[in-house]
Structure 1
């Protein structure tokens, strides 16, 4: 696998520009006044809170990535540090919306017990276990992390779509669109990195195929409460419309280099299970 790339190569994604223009707090840009007279409904607030918790789960995810060969890639590490910073402020923007609707912040509400499914045991591995397992996987594991990051962006995009559609709030729509401008660069980086790494290495493809077949979506979901995950899955992937959204994610997975319809179908099944 070819890895001798300039970490600041801007031919595909300008990592230097990304790190220098990282998005900090968004609160000053958010128009929250409309929520005083037209607050969001309880289900929409519940979905928004779950999305905020997923956005704020960055450090949990990074802990698992950076005990592997991923931390040796300067380009990826530069991105991940900045990505974590921006995700923190995305979650803070969600907090701002919750507060404007008279709701407590994300961290001020207990989530409830987590789901303990044997099928998700592989996703509950701690950093020590992951570090030991990663020794034999080597550099191709970076492709796994980039591809799962990309798929997660696709999954979260659909979740935000559902939130906006259900809320029917112009104020919330404007805020979500602002968050999307931040998240767009995240998706772009994951897309660029995942594609060239999958094209470059058969081992990367093999590892990615295996990982996608067991991944739990969205990333960080295994740390969330069982009740909130059930609510989220029903809202986003339930019914005929939800299955179409899941199929759309599966189709995009199948189109990635080295992957195919069987991998896409596995992701779709995990979303709608």
Structure 2
């Protein structure tokens, strides 16, 4: 059913396409919140056969693990990064109308490659040797540096919410995560409440404000031929302290 709905949507976007078909349709189950589908579209246009791989990401019916996500924010940030050195997947269309697939969604390119998964036991993947590991690590840090130096004002991304100077970025994140705890806490967790109080009392000063990925880690990028070709999972993207991404990397495997 949803495959037919997506095909009809593409026909409305690819107006010159004839005999459009969807191939290799797959519903992904790796994610913990979004509904994600990948497929190839094949069609005839001006006497030529064309094929393009797509990924469609749809908002979940309910709030995710960390609350509601904003497809428009994610789409807009990815669009803004297209002409930068950041390996962001190219995006094509954003759809707000819920009558199309039941929830807002956007469509981006399908990037071929391998996703190193930190929880896959015995997984070596692109880290077959020390040289490959060092190369990927260097690229991983380089892409993050590129992201943190993008001029978000010039890209029109102030709508993400600009934190107040000083402790503003840290305090806003603390408030966000406290709200999430309030939403999901079934029984009191005193240690977490105490941790939030400590963080509020010791909120660091942000050196500057940048685009923050929010979940920059192993498992959220695609490698092909020894190169990082796409950074994934931008649902937590926001403006804040660039050291937030660095701290998250240090805590994650």
Whether these two folds match at TM > 0.5 is no
State which structure, 1 or 2, has the greater radius of gyration over its C-alpha atoms: 2
TM-score for both structures, normalised by structure 1: 0.28
Higher relative contact order (CA 8 A, sep 6+): 1
Question: Higher strand share goes to which structure?
Answer: 2
Q: With structure 2 as the length reference, what TM-score do the two structures score? A: 0.29
